[in-house]
Amino acid sequence: MKHASRGLLGTLGMAFALTTSVSLVIPNAAAIENVMTTEAAPVAQTFEVTGTVEAVPIVRDGYGVTAPPPPPPPPAVQWPLSPSTVMSSDFGPRSCAGCSSNHQGLDLNPGGGTPIGAMAAGVVAKASAGASGAFGVHVVIEHVIDGQKVNSLYAHMQAGSMPLAVGQTVSVGQTVGAVGCTGSCTGDHLHFEIHPGGGAPVDPAAWLRSRGV
């Protein structure tokens, strides 16, 4: 009987010891669920920004939409007709039937009716709309160029083509009339003279070339 009790007690003791050791190694289901719930729960984080935030300037690449540049200003001095216009008679002595022996200007032949432009800005000093006389329909314009007074003359223009009056201001290139054959002439052409200081005439071609035109 004692042996049986000892055997039963031993068996119970071993069972208790085994149960205790298993409980230490393997946690119960509630403990596992608690651990899993704790690990899975998201952690809310809060950040606080302090101090002054300065705007960062925008660096552009240098390109943009801009207005087109303005056109260049007109030249101060220019030919009254295209520089490529045919010249039938130059400045100085000449010999021809029915013409002056000492030509005081240039005869330019672009064709009848071609518009004539003022050599430079100035004021009309003389304007003759009459078709008679040596110059026929003609105009004289007084300019100030490089601080010096200079007169230019445009002669033999078509009747009715000269729109200017004495005292009127003109701009460089402004139309002063049209090529014609009024006065003493043998065909449509412009007789063009330049008088520095309002005095004796000089060769218009040389005078214009000296100013780069």
Q: Considering only CA atoms, which of 82, 179, 78, 153 is closest in space to residue 119?
A: 78
Mean pLDDT, residues 9-19 taken together: 49
Q: Considering only CA atoms, which of 69, 179, 164, 73 is closest in space to residue 116?
A: 179
For 11, the enclosing helix (H) or strand (E) is: helix 2-25
Query: What's the pLDDT score for residue 70?
Result: 86
- The residues spanned by each domain of the chain are 2-40, 87-209
Query: What's the pLDDT score for residue 54?
Result: 65
Instruction: Count the Cβ atoms, other than its own, within 10 Å of residue 175.
Output: 14
Mean pLDDT, residues 165-174 taken together: 97
Query: What's the pLDDT score for residue 191?
Result: 96
Q: How far apart are CA 150 and CA 195, in angstroms?
A: 6
pLDDT digit string, tens, across residues 114-152: 999 999 999 999 999 999 899 999 999 999 999 999 999
pLDDT digit string, tens, across residues 80-124: 999 999 998 888 876 666 565 678 999 999 999 999 999 999 999
Query: What's the pLDDT score for residue 24?
Result: 43
Query: What's the pLDDT score for residue 67?
Result: 82
Query: What's the pLDDT score for residue 21?
Result: 46
Q: How far apart are CA 149 and CA 146, in angstroms?
A: 8
Q: Considering only CA atoms, which of 100, 165, 107, 174 is closest in space to residue 139?
A: 165
Regarding beta strands 148-157 and 137-145, do their DSSP bridges make them parallel or antiparallel, or are they unpaired? antiparallel
User: What CATH number labels 87-209?
Assistant: 2.70.70.10
Query: What's the pLDDT score for residue 116?
Result: 98
Mean pLDDT, residues 184-211 taken together: 94
Query: What's the pLDDT score for residue 26?
Result: 45
The yes-or-no verdict on residue 12 having pLDDT over 70 is no
- Comparing 144 with 16, the larger pLDDT belongs to 144
Which of 150-166 are b and which e, b meaning 16 or more Cβ less than 10 Å from the residue's Cβ?
A: bbbbbbbbbeebbebee
pLDDT digit string, tens, across residues 21-74: 444 444 454 544 554 554 545 555 555 655 565 666 665 566 566 788 888 887
pLDDT digit string, tens, across residues 151-160: 999 999 999 9
Q: How far apart are CA 143 and CA 138, in angstroms?
A: 16
- Comparing 39 with 190, the larger pLDDT belongs to 190
Mean pLDDT, residues 8-32 taken together: 48
